[in-house]
Structure 1
Amino acid sequence: MDSFYSQCSAPAVVLSATEQATAPAATLGQNRHIIVQRLGLTDYEAAWAYQEKILADTLAVKAQNRQAAEAGLPLITTPNYLLLCQHPHVYTLGKSGKPEHLLLNEAALAQHNATFHRINRGGDITYHGPGQLVGYPILDLDNFFTDIHRYLRVLEEAVMLTLAEYGLTAGRIAGLTGVWLGFEEGAANPRKICAMGVKCSRWVTMHGFALNVNTDLSYFNHIVPCGISDKAVTSLQQELGRAVPLAEVEDRLLIHLAHLLDAALLEQA
């Protein structure tokens, strides 16, 4: 059965600093290598279809392994992928989202050169566009740890550590998945810099995170982001007052994600 996890509502489980920084050692049959593909500016539907293909192929291997295990035959290790890309202007609505949180009709979408898709992740509505770093990990969590709550916290932690390299203190807000600035209780201006929404099938993940780097934030004015009307969105560019090379952010994020997952990254064109 598929599991859907909201990009808006966080599970109550939060890792300690030690848990966030240390992954368990791999056991026999686990594959801790992650194939990284930098896809550049990619059509949303094309990226979604590519994720679905990798997911289906991985699930097929897992099905074969179940049969092999019953027959006492050797098992095949499953692959792990991380797709990094940007998208043309697009709004996506998750399984639990409300269509009325998109404030544009079809004509207005066309005027803004934007498209709209209902998709199979958790959460409400969000925006993707140029200048935003989108990451789609298609990981078999049987290779790492079978805890989807911990997985979400690891993604958040990797983003938080990346932002710290730019002098930004980011964190979590109770009940709200993603990464925030002004997250402290009572802060006057809480603002989301990274949204998250994932799907997990038989411990294989898809969808992921969207980190605003040099994003045109005006596009968020046309939705109720994640269904949250009382908090703002921001970007690295807005916070620092300058554009930041997207490839530089990718490189830094990859280092932190590899450490947190105790993984080896393999770049693939």
Structure 2
Amino acid sequence: MPKKVVLQDIGERHYKEVWDYQENLLKQSVLLKQQQIIPDNYLLFTEHFPVYTLGKNGKAENILINETDRKEKGVEYFHINRGGDITFHGKGQLVGYPVFDLDQFKTDLGWYLRSLEEIIILTMAEYGLHGERSAGETGVWIEPQTKGKERKICAMGIRCSRWVTMHGFAFNVNTDLSYFDHIIPCGIHDKKVTSLEKELGYAVSMEEVKEKVRKNFEKVFDAEFV
């Protein structure tokens, strides 16, 4: 039977608020598992106010903007507990945070990340775009094998505790890509970032993208949203 997942579209939020919310959901899930109670699975959809986040093992030198200029631009910054390096979140970017008990799915983080990538690849295909994986680099790319044309459209970074996940993916839909000029995205030099809007040449309905991602989530994870 499909696994039940609680879908919560929480709109545009500050990063720290949603980070704290995920942490609470994860702690609740771990506590229930310790009591041998099966926890609910959650998927949060959000857009963040402008923020740079650096993964736990990321390198601060990949932030190219100083603190004064960053604050003048109204961009927050957090060093957080997910994998990956530096990235940007902002309006026009669909951020998805699955808080999943992988004991109910498959206890394999590689499989989990490839599944998240597959959801974005399937969604892009519905817009006539060919999303791909890049060897050794998590996320979804366009033309990753063509030197000089590699561009990332979806970044990913997760944390997992007792097989319960948090953090997730950031899919550039109508994102202002100029914010990426002030960082080395994901710590990867000489590669660009892109968005659905840039690739298609027009702004895309965020609600339409959410619906497609939701449908592909159900397909890839054999899930049913409630």
Q: Please state whether the residue corresponding to 2:40 is helix, strand or coil.
A: coil
Contact 1:182 1:188 in 2 (8 A): no
Deviation digits for residues 199-252 of structure 1, max 9, x if unmatched? Answer: 010110000000000000000000011111110000000001110011110100
What does 1:1-269 align with in structure 2 at a 5 Å threshold? 32-65=3-36, 76-183=37-144, 185-266=145-226
Identity over aligned pairs, percent: 53
Segments of structure 1 that go 5 or more residues without pairing to the other structure are 1-25, 66-75
Separation (CA, whole Å) in 2 of partners of 1:234 and 1:174: 19
CA drift of 1:186 comes to 3.4
Amino acid aligned to 1:117: F
Q: In the alignment, residue 263 of structure 1 is paired with which amino acid? A: A
Looking at structure 1, the residues matched to 147 and 67 of structure 2 have their Cα atoms a distance apart, in angstroms, of: 37
Letter in 1 for 2:38: T
Task: Name the CA distance, whole Å, in 2 between partners of 1:199 and 1:82.
Answer: 15
Amino acid at match of 1:34: V
Give the number of aligned pairs: 226
Counterpart of 2:195, as a letter, is S
| CA shift for structure 1 position 109 | 0.8
Aligned mates of 2:21, 2:208 — CA distance in 1:
25
Aligned partners of 1:188, 1:51: CA distance in 2, in Å? 37
CA contact (8 A) 2:93 2:172 kept: yes
User: Residue 74 of structure 2: SS of its match in structure 1?
Assistant: coil
What is the RMSD computed on CA atoms of the aligned residues? Answer: 1.0
Once residues 112 and 236 of structure 1 are traced to their aligned partners in structure 2, the CA distance between those partners, rounded to angstroms, is 24
Which residue identity does 1:254 align to in structure 2?
Answer: R
- Whole-Å separation in 2 of the counterparts to 1:154 and 1:82: 14
After TM superposition, which residue ranges in structure 1, 4 or more long, deviate above 2 angstroms? Answer: 185-188
Corresponding letter in the other structure for 2:98: P
Q: Higher Cα Rg: structure 1 or 2?
A: 1
Further displaced range: 108-117 or 211-220: 108-117
User: Which whole-Å CA distance do the structure 2 matches of 1:173 and 1:50 have between them?
Assistant: 31
Corresponding letter in the other structure for 1:94 = G
C-alpha separation between the residues in 2 aligned to 1:96 and 1:251? 33
Which is bigger in relative contact order (C-alpha 8 A, separation at least 6)?
A: 1
Report the Cα offset of residue 187 of structure 1: 4.8
| CA contact 2:148–2:191 (8 Å) conserved in 1 | no
- Considering fraction of residues, name the structure with more strand: 2
**In 2, Cα distance between equivalents of 1:123 and 1:158:** 19
1:116 partner amino acid = Y
Distance in 2 separating the partners of 1:258 and 1:47:
23
Question: Please, which runs of 5 or more residues in structure 2 have no aligned partner?
Answer: none
TM-score (norm 1): 0.82
